[in-house]
Amino acid sequence: MIEAPPLDRSLGIYYYLYDDLYLGDVVTHIKSPVTFKVYEVSLDGSIASLEDCIYDYPGTKGKYVHLIMCKEGLDTIQAIHVVRRVVNAHVYYAGLKDADSYSCQYLSVKFNRIRSRYYDLGRIKLCITGYGDYVIKRGYLLGNIFYVGLDLRSSNVDLGEVIKVLESIPNRYFLNYYGYQRFGTIRPVTHLVGRALVKREWGEAVKLIAGTPSPLESVEVISAREEFELGNYSKALKLFPKGLVIERRITYSMMKYGDHLKALKSLGSELINLYLGAYQAYLFNKMLSRLIEYFKDVNELRRAYPTLMVPGSNMKLRNDACSQIAEEIIESEGINISDFLIKDLGASAKTYARESAFRPEGFTYIPSPKGLWLSFTLPSGSYASILLRELLRAGLPALKGVKATSH
């Protein structure tokens, strides 16, 4: 095991597993919609693609219209906000996809709200793929298929040596850490917001959402966040781009009511649960890091605990190593399990099971003029960025195009 850099550790990701997988000296990956593509795999094995659009209504119709949304340059929350305005209805989705990708995913909307079979919304394309009496909800996926482009750092790189490393990947398990995008790729603060909510620190949560600028953001957004922290809500609202829906909603509410709790309530339960879920993800990552310290080997850990319980309001602690570690982490955070039940917000983050490790399926590589394309499938909830960090030891800066120091 190799100790991870401070940024990873701040997200509970303490280690790299494999020293012999490191390729960061010879290949690089700059994440973008061109180099990182992801397609959801539905419960029936279908793959989300605009090629599956249907242009004739079938004879029988269900209560819900099932849709495929392909997007680039927007995260799922931003894209769903756009779609909601177009269809004027609540939109249900199976999974979250970040902005720095081209992604196709499944949605559902009440049948009587759809007025067209195909929507071209610029960076969002939306089409009907079927009908049903069930609604597509979070987690209604088998997994995701990924296509990732790697560039060679030099024309002198021995491609054969790179391929030799890649060919060892299908036989390995990786720690099932929650990836960077679960916490925010430019401003990794969603788990900090969740922690503030669990601790009933409403003002801190609001500040983290709409204030707390990152140097990686645009000058306009940094200025908006600074004005928000100064209490100049009207000025901040004018500066926040329309795409920052959450920040604008918080700012408008603070301008109107001047009350932190009311501002948080204006987000609705879906977003509140997203922040709570990010904090649960952070705690899970810390548990997983502590467990790999204990077992030293991912296969030993997986045999002892094929699944782990993500901390939540109804978590049952047992007399074993995992429960002891969970209890120590929760105590170190200064919280209790019952704190995940937040009556003030009408929210509760319950415990659930998550696999401790994953193995990529169908892993293949295709040489390209600049390097290679990787293709693989991961189970629902597992992150390609966790596999890539083992290859690149890069973390967020390299994913955003800033050179990182290798170990």
pLDDT for the residue numbered 397: 42
Position 51 pLDDT exceeds 90: no
Position 404 pLDDT exceeds 60: no
Position 110 pLDDT exceeds 90: no
- Whole-angstrom CA distances from 37 to 384, 398, 401 are 10, 17, 17
Position 371 pLDDT exceeds 80: yes
pLDDT for the residue numbered 60: 59
User: Cβ(15)–Cβ(115) under 8 Å?
Assistant: no
User: Cβ(67)–Cβ(127) under 8 Å?
Assistant: yes
Share of the chain above pLDDT 90, in %: 71
Helices and strands, number each (H, E), in the chain: 14, 18
Query: What would the two tokens of residue 162 be?
Result: 């790179």
Query: What would the two tokens of residue 14 be?
Result: 């303490």
**Residue 258: pLDDT band with limits 50, 70, 90:** very high
pLDDT for the residue numbered 57: 59
The whole model's pTM is what? 0.90
Share of the chain above pLDDT 70, in %: 95
Position 310 pLDDT exceeds 90: yes
pLDDT for the residue numbered 39: 96
**Residue 111: pLDDT band with limits 50, 70, 90:** confident
Strands (E), 33-163: 36-41, 64-72, 92-93, 102-110, 118-120, 124-132, 143-152
pLDDT for the residue numbered 156: 87
Which of the residue ranges 52-56, 181-185, 294-298 has the most confident prediction, judged by mean pLDDT?
294-298
**Average confidence (pLDDT) over 360-367:** 95
**Average confidence (pLDDT) over 291-298:** 95
pLDDT for the residue numbered 52: 79
CA distance 52 to 74: 22
Model pLDDT for residues 169-224, shown as the tens digit of each residue: 999 999 999 999 899 878 899 999 999 999 999 999 999 999 999 998 999 999 99
Position 334 pLDDT exceeds 80: yes
Closest CA to 4 of 226, 175, 253: 175
Position 143 pLDDT exceeds 80: yes
pLDDT for the residue numbered 407: 27
CA distance 168 to 225: 46
pLDDT for the residue numbered 317: 81
Reported as half-sphere exposure (CB side, CA atoms, 13 A), residue 269 has a value of: 9
Closest CA to 141 of 384, 381, 356: 381
Strands (E), 133-194: 143-152, 174-175
User: Cβ(366)–Cβ(372) under 8 Å?
Assistant: yes
Position 303 pLDDT exceeds 90: yes
pLDDT for the residue numbered 335: 94
User: Cβ(394)–Cβ(27) under 8 Å?
Assistant: no
pLDDT for the residue numbered 59: 55
Cβ within 8 Å of residue 60, ≥6 positions away: 131
Region of poorest pLDDT, from 132-141, 255-264, 398-407: 398-407
- The three-state secondary structure class of 229 is helix
Higher pLDDT, 156 or 288: 288
Model pLDDT for residues 124-133, shown as the tens digit of each residue: 999 988 888 8
Region of poorest pLDDT, from 226-230, 313-317, 324-328: 313-317
pLDDT for the residue numbered 393: 87
User: Cβ(376)–Cβ(150) under 8 Å?
Assistant: no
User: Cβ(243)–Cβ(74) under 8 Å?
Assistant: yes
Cβ within 8 Å of residue 201, ≥6 positions away: none
CA distance 286 to 292: 10
Position 121 pLDDT exceeds 60: yes
Residue the block writes with tokens 């603060």: 189
- The three-state secondary structure class of 268 is coil
pLDDT for the residue numbered 406: 27
Position 41 pLDDT exceeds 60: yes
Position 113 pLDDT exceeds 60: yes
